[in-house]
Structure 1
Amino acid sequence: MSDAHNSPVRGLGFAFAAFAVFATHDAVIKALGVNFSVFQIIFFAMLFAFVPMSVLMLADKQVDNFRPRHPWLILLRSVTTVIAMSTAFYAFTVLPLAEVYALLFATPLLITAMSAVLLGETVRAQRWAAVLVGLIGVMIVLRPGVTQITFGHICALVAALCSSFGSVIMRKIGSEERTAVMILYPMLSSIIFMALMLPFVYRPMDVAELGLFASVGVLSVAAQVMIIAAYRIAPAAVVAPSQYSQILWATLFGVLFFEELPDMWVGVGASIIIASGVFIVWRESRPSVSIRLPLLRNANPRYDTGPSPQPKHRQNDGND
């Protein structure tokens, strides 16, 4: 591949831009959550995202039909996507942005653990230690017994858990199922479920508010396109850690727009979680590590995105 198409610096630029857009997307969700139900936000966001995503999928000449090869696993992934999106969106509306991100950052750790337990992925002592240390960071953010654990905190953890499970399903069927199928069915499931809930929660919108709803969908699609571009021209080990930059944007947006300032313990816990995630990415990127790479194979474990392009297999000695 030529240098023009294989550029870690350009890939990292796309990735940082994508996660800045994702953080903006989440800040808009938080602003809308003051007046609107999560179900209404998701319905209109997905509706506005559906058209550009459909165009992108139809432009893929490799897709001759949208019939899933693993219908039950696609259904299960669709269910986990709906739950993850609903709980994450709710957490954004009731908790400080940085605090939500700190908890969602446990997703890569959970992917690593689930891949070992459910798929038999090779995860040895050092990565297990990183998972445990990361989970200690989660407990520092939550501080049970010291601060009140709210329904918003529980929702953020459920979002991380469901997103991780969805990524493990994607890992299992990713080599056989088409990307368009793995994006289309969760998206349609989200729209249908939210449409069923809409009559119970709908509130009228003015033009400006409708524009905000549309922006959530458009920002999501734009960020996904940039993420795909990043993974196509840079190694996953370079791109994956950039997701943690979202907490910087979350802190900035929280201070500027929502009068939020994360306390010291959220910062400490988030730092531990991020360090654990970056360590796992670094371990998986080493030439001596097994080709079974649960995190790098799910390098963009975000609740509202489709699968990222998979890193190429490596031949190695299988030692971790």
Structure 2
Amino acid sequence: MASAQANRRGILLMLVAMGCYVFNDVFVKLAAQSLPPGQVLAVRGAFATLFVLAIARGTRGSWRMALRPLVGVRCGLEVTTALASVVALSLAPLATVSTLMMTAPLMIAATAMALRWEPWRGGRLLAAAAGFGGVLLVIQPAARPDVPAVGLACALLCAASLAARDLVTRRIPATIPSSTIAIATTLAVCLAGLLLGLVERWTTLTRYELGMLAAAAGCAALGNFALIVACRGVDLSVVTPFRYSLIVWALLLGFFVWADVPRPQAAVGVLLIVAAGAFTVWTARRP
């Protein structure tokens, strides 16, 4: 069992990591209003690749490991996740997208039990059902003319891709360094953006748009680093539920940047998803 001080440090870093992820989404949403998805992925991916390469210095000689089939599958899922996220953020409110994306742990729990990777547990099944009920409450109030259904569908697709990506990551051998996986997936997203550019009409980037995408890449890199440190030397059953602070960050920034206010039904749905996800994570971490 970790010390109280270590757990407090882990909670603080988890809050910082989730804040960085939401700021990444804010900057992407601001840039995606005037840029096609492929251009957003390519430019942000280029900046992210520079950040990741700077962090992952000293991993020479391990690049062949990136050619493993499971790493390739993870790269494909990372591309799907990034593309769905950009499209969803360009069409739907930030808080709605963030809330729907946080159903990924529920999808992971349900899939792991369905595949018999984990034992069936009645409590986790009930939590998953409650969480998906919360999804319906979040979607229904948001289904208005200014929020296209495709935006909500892309947010759910992003959550499903996140869940599948994490399940695949569990199967990747520990002998493959995390830095190699990170660089491979970052390059894959950048390349996917360049390929999408063949069927898109790219525009000349302004300093504002470049700044937004560079800031997004920096926030994502900082969030990844903070998340890794937050989960080391702590009790994960204590720290991991604070992942759901991401929704609080999204609600606050959505209000201050775009004046988005969730309707009462959506607020109830958010609470259901947070409670169900936190319970699922907590039960998964118990001995």
The letter for the 1-side match of 2:112 is S
User: Which residue in 1 is equivalent to 2:190?
Assistant: 191
Alignment of 1:49-88 (within 5 A): 49-59=48-58, 64-68=61-65, 71-88=68-85
Structure 2 counterpart SS, 1:68? helix
Which range moved further: 117-126 or 33-42? 117-126
Structure 1 counterpart SS, 2:204? coil
The structure 2 residue matched to 1:130, chosen from 108, 127, 132, is: 127
Question: 1:188 offset after TM fit, Å?
Answer: 1.5
**CA contact under 8 A between 1:241 and 1:278: conserved in structure 2?**
yes
> Could you report, residue by residue, the CA deviation over 1:221-266 in whole angstroms, capped at 9, with x for unpaired residues?
1111111111123222222212211222212222221121111111
Question: 1:181 offset after TM fit, Å?
Answer: 2.8
User: Which residue in 1 is equivalent to 2:201?
Assistant: 201
User: Which residue in 2 is equivalent to 1:212?
Assistant: 212
> Could you report, residue by residue, the CA deviation over 1:18-76 in whole angstroms, capped at 9, with x for unpaired residues?
1111111111111112111122112111111111211222245xx64122277222111
Distance 2:119 2:184 in 1: 30
Q: List runs of 5+ in structure 1 lacking aligned partners.
A: 288-320
Distance 1:3 1:142 in 2: 41
**CA contact under 8 A between 1:70 and 1:177: conserved in structure 2?**
no
**CA contact under 8 A between 1:10 and 1:230: conserved in structure 2?**
yes
Q: How many residues align?
A: 284
The letter for the 2-side match of 1:155 is C
Distance 1:122 1:184 in 2: 34
Alignment of 1:133-212 (within 5 A): 133-143=130-140, 150-199=149-198, 200-212=200-212
User: Which residue in 2 is equivalent to 1:121?
Assistant: 118
User: Which residue in 1 is equivalent to 2:25?
Assistant: 26
Question: 1:2 offset after TM fit, Å?
Answer: 9.1
> Could you report, residue by residue, the CA deviation over 1:148-205 in whole angstroms, capped at 9, with x for unpaired residues?
7600011011111111011111112253433123222221111111111225231111
User: Which residue in 1 is equivalent to 2:45?
Assistant: 46
Residue 96 in structure 1 maps to residue 93 in structure 2 = yes
Among the aligned pairs, what percent are the same residue? 25
Q: List runs of 5+ in structure 2 lacking aligned partners.
A: none
Bigger RCO (CA 8 Å, 6+ sep): 2
The TM-score with structure 1 as length reference comes to 0.82
The TM-score with structure 2 as length reference comes to 0.91
**CA contact under 8 A between 1:119 and 1:172: conserved in structure 2?**
no
